[in-house]
Structure 1
Amino acid sequence: MKVFSVAGITQSGKTTTIENIIRELRKRRYSVGSVKEIHFEQFAIDTEGTNTHRHKNAGSQLVTARGYHETDILFQNKLDIDHILSFYNHDFVVLEGVDDYDVPKIISAHNEEEVLERMDDLVFAISGRISNTIDELQGLPAINSMENIEKLVDLIEEKVYDKLPAFPEECCNECGYSCRELGSMILKGKAKREECVLENTKVKLQIGGKDIKMVPFVQNILSNAVLGVVSELEGYMKGKEISIHIE
C-alpha cells in the first residue's frame, strides 16, 4: 500500500488537488482510499440526540451506524494513523491535513513563503494556487492539478513507495537509516524500498490475518524462543521451516 500526504493551509487548493489526484488514480484503475484530518476542536460526526449518540453516552465504546448506502464506525477516541491505515488495503491512500506521519508529501500553497514554511526532506512536489505562477521551487516541480493532473500523477506513480514500518530509529536502524531517513533517500533516488530489512524477514507473524511487523531484535527473540522448544521435540529437523498456528 502506497501512502502520501497533501499538506497546506486552507483555501490553497489542497482539497481540489486531492480530488483531481483521486480521479486520475481511479482512471488508471488503482484502488484509492483517503484520510482527512479535521483541525477543529469541536468536530464530531455524531450529533447530540441521535440514537448513536445515546449509545455512546450510555457507555458503548464502539458504535456502528449501518444505513442503506454506507456504514459508519464511530470510535470514542483519536486513533493514530498506523491504526487507521490498518483498515485500508488500497493501492494508494491519500492523507489530507495529517502532519504527524512520515510519508511522501505534496505541498499545496498560495506563495513561496508558505511552501518554505512547510518544506522538509519528504516533499517531492508542489501544487495548489502557487502552481499558477511558478513551475519549480528549490528543485521541486510545481504542477497545477487543474491543468496537468496527468503529469502530477505520473510523478506520484514514480515517487511514492510502499509504506515503511515507521519504527523509531532506536528500535531498528538495521538498514543504516531511520524509517524517515530511508523514505527521504528513496525520494532522492539514493536508496530503494527493498533496502528495508523487514521486507526479507525470515520470521513472520500474523494476528487476526494481519501481518505484524517486527524489528530484527524482536524477530530474534521469537525465533530463538521457538527453536529452543521445538529443537527438543522428536521430529525436529535442523534447517527446515517451522510453522505454528494458534487459534
Structure 2
Amino acid sequence: MKVLSVFGITQSGKTTTIENIIKELKKRRFSVGSVKEIHFEKFAIDEEGSNTFRHKKAGAELVTARGYYETDILFPKRLSIAEILRFYEQEYVVLEGVTDSNVPKIITAHSIKEIDERLDGTVFAISGRISNEIKEYKGIPVISSIDNIEKLVDLIEIKVFEKLPEFPEKCCGICGYSCHQLLKKIIKGEAKREDCIISQKNIRLTIGDTDITMVPFVQRILYNSVIGIVKELEGYKQHQRIAIEIGEE
C-alpha cells in the first residue's frame, strides 16, 4: 500500500487537489482510498439522541450503522493512522490534513509564508492556490492539480512508495536511520525503500487477516524459536518454507 498526505490551511486547495489526484489515479486504473482528518474538537458523525448514540451510551464498545447504501462503523475513540490503514486494501491511500504519519507529503498553500511554516524533508511537492504564482520553491516542484494533474500524479508515482513502519529509533535503527529519517532520505534520492531492513524479513506473522509488523529483534526471537523446535522433527529440511497456523478453540 502506497500512502501520501496532502495538508495545508483551510481554503488552500487541499480537497480540490485530493479530488483531482484520486480521479487521475483511478484513470490510471489504480485502486484508491482516502482518509480525512477533521480539525474540529466537537466533530462527531453520530448525533446525540440517535439510536446508535444510545447504543454507545449504554456501553457498546463498537457500534455499526448499516443502511441500504452505506455501512458506518463507529469507534468510540480516536484511532491512529496505522490502525485506520488496517481497514484498507487499496494500492494508494490519500490522507487529507494528516501530519503525524510517516508518509510523503504535498503542501497546499496560498503563500510562501504558509509553505515555510510547513516545509520539511517529507514534502516532495507543493500545490494549491500558490501554484498560480510560482512553479518551484527551494527545489521542490509547485504543480497545479487543476491545470497539470498528469504531471502531479506522474511525480506521485515516482515519489510515493510502500508505507514505511513508524518504530521509535531505539526499537530498530538497523538501517542507520530512524523511520522518519529514512523517509526523508528516500524522498531526497539518498536511500531506497528496500533499505528498510523490515522489508527484508524472512518470517511473517498474521493475526486474522492483519499482517503484524515486527522489529528485527522480535523477528529473530520468533524465527529462532520456530526453527529450534521444528528442526528436531522428522521431515525437517533446511531452507524449506515452514508454515504454522494457530486457531483458538
Which runs of structure 2 are paired with 1:12-51 in the superposition (5 Å)?
Answer: 12-51=12-51
Worse overlay, 185-194 or 155-164: 185-194
Q: Does 1:127 align with 2:109?
A: no
Paired position in structure 2 for 1:86: 86
* Secondary structure in structure 1 of the residue aligned to 2:90: coil
1:23-58 deviations in Å (ceiling 9; x for gaps) = 111111111111111111110000012111111111
What is the aligned length?
A: 247
Distance 2:241 2:89 in 1: 28
CA–CA distance in structure 2, aligned partners of residues 208 and 51 of structure 1: 31
Question: Counterparts of 2:90 and 2:12 in 1: how far apart (Å)?
Answer: 27
Deviation at 1:230, TM superposition (A): 2.7
1:238 is displaced (CA, Å) by: 4.1
- Measured after TM superposition, the shift of residue 212 of structure 1 is 1.2
Matches within 5 A, 1:60-139: 60-139=60-139
The corresponding residue for 1:56 is 56
Task: Measure, in 2, the Cα distance between the counterparts of 1:243 and 1:68.
Answer: 41
Q: Is the 8 A contact 2:102 2:165 kept in 1?
A: no
Q: Identify unmatched segments of 5+ residues in structure 2.
A: none
- Over the residues paired in the alignment, what is the CA RMSD in angstroms? 1.2
**Aligned counterparts, 1:175-186, within 5 A:** 175-186=175-186
Rounded to whole Å, the distance in 1 between the matches of 2:16 and 2:191 is 32
Shift of 1:120: 0.5
**1 CA distance for matches of 2:56 and 2:191?**
48
Residue matched to 2:225: 225
After TM superposition, give the deviation of residue 243 of structure 1 in Å. Answer: 2.1
**Aligned residue type for 1:241:** R
Farther-moved stretch of structure 1 (224-233 vs 176-185): 224-233
Give every structure 1 segment of 4 or more consecutive aligned residues whose post-TM-superposition deviation is greater than 4 Å: none
Larger mean Cα displacement after TM superposition, 55-64 or 234-243: 234-243
Name whichever of 235-244 and 97-106 sits farther off. 235-244
C-alpha distance in 1, partners of 2:29/2:239?
43
Q: 1:204: which partner in 2?
A: 204
Which range is displaced more, 203-212 or 236-245? 236-245
CA distance in 1, matches of 2:180, 2:199: 16
Distance in 2 of aligned mates of 1:145 and 1:189: 24
What is the letter of the counterpart of residue 68 of structure 2? Y
After superposing the two structures, state which structure 1 stretch, 181-190 or 105-114, moved more: 181-190
TM-score, length-scaled by structure 2: 0.95
In the other structure, the counterpart of 2:145 is 145
Q: Does 1:165 align with 2:165?
A: yes
Structure-1-length-normalised TM-score: 0.96
| Aligned mates of 1:234, 1:17 — CA distance in 2 | 59
Q: Which moved more, 1:76-85 or 1:194-203?
A: 194-203
**Equivalence for 2:155:** 155
SS at 1:44 equivalent: coil
Of 88-97 and 166-175, more deviation after overlay is shown by 166-175
- For residues 239 and 30 of structure 1, the distance between their equivalents in structure 2, rounded to whole angstroms, comes to 36
| Helix, strand or coil at the partner of 2:79 | coil
